[in-house]
Amino acid sequence: MPVEQFDFKVPDIRLAAVCGLFCPACSIYIGNREEPERIKRLAARFNMPEEEFECLGCRSDKRSFFCRNICKMCRCAEEKNVDFCGECDEYPCEDLKTFQKQYPHRIELWKNLERIKEVGFEKWYVEMIERYSCSECGTVNSAYDISCRKCGNTPSCEYVRLHEKEIAESSTLLLP
């Protein structure tokens, strides 16, 4: 399931979700970019075709089933002409609050949206690369990669170090 590739280490608005999630640290994005087996496991877990998991980021033309069909934030931001939910007069709305509580990879949405306001999207993006990168080998990991997916270092990244308890307690279906 090859998809168009571009350098995700260069700040790219297509890889910054309006809600404050960082797409390069998404299990689905990682699966599309580097680990097709991850996509096969997710497709089997959700009983869906692998094509439904093709994704180039939340603001790209090719988005996964979840971002296309379940996420309300992209459509809302477009209607309200804002780049990020934190710019909206209704922030944080009930939809965003509900979304944030559902999975541990969303724990830091408020922090991310505030940081984007404070330092701008590009600087925040660079900080996110560092936050999700393995301290040993530099691989960007998902919030659900407890150990680095390349070198095995534990924890895989700063995000996992800070939220490992919540991740372990979660019954999420987005584990790699």
**pLDDT value for 6:** 57
Only one residue has tokens 């988005």, namely 63
3-state class (DSSP) for residue 22: strand
From residue 54, give the alpha-carbon distance in Å to each of 32, 39, 47, 64. 6, 8, 15, 5
**In which band, very low, low, confident or very high, does the pLDDT at 138 lie, cut at 50, 70 and 90?**
very high
In this predicted structure, the answer to whether residue 70 has a pLDDT above a threshold of 80 is yes
Q: Which residues of 142-155 are buried (b: 16+ CB within 10 A; e: fewer)?
A: bbbbbebbbeebeb
Alpha carbons 5 and 70: distance in angstroms, whole number: 24
In the chain the beta strands, taken as DSSP E runs, fall at none
Mean pLDDT of the chain: 91
List the structure tokens of 10.
Answer: 């260069």
| Nearest CA-CA partner of 56 in 131, 124, 122, 5 | 5
Instruction: List, for residues 6-30, the tens digit of each pLDDT value.
Output: 577 789 999 999 999 999 999 999 9
pLDDT digits (tens, 9 = 90+) for 21-64: 999 999 999 999 999 999 999 999 999 999 999 999 999 889 99
Residue 71 has a pLDDT of: 87
Q: What is the pLDDT of residue 10?
A: 84
At 2, the pLDDT band (50, 70, 90 cuts) reads very low
One-letter amino acid of 137: C
Q: Supply the DSSP symbol for 19.
A: T
CA angle, residues 81, 14, 11, in degrees to nearest 5: 110
Which amino acid does the sequence have at 15? L
> Looking at the predicted structure, is the pLDDT value of residue 171 above 80?
no
% of the chain at pLDDT higher than 90:
80
pTM of the model: 0.89
Task: Return d(Cα 72, Cα 170) in angstroms, integer.
Answer: 23
Report residue 67's pLDDT band, with 50, 70 and 90 as the boundaries. confident
pLDDT band of residue 3 (cuts 50, 70, 90) is very low
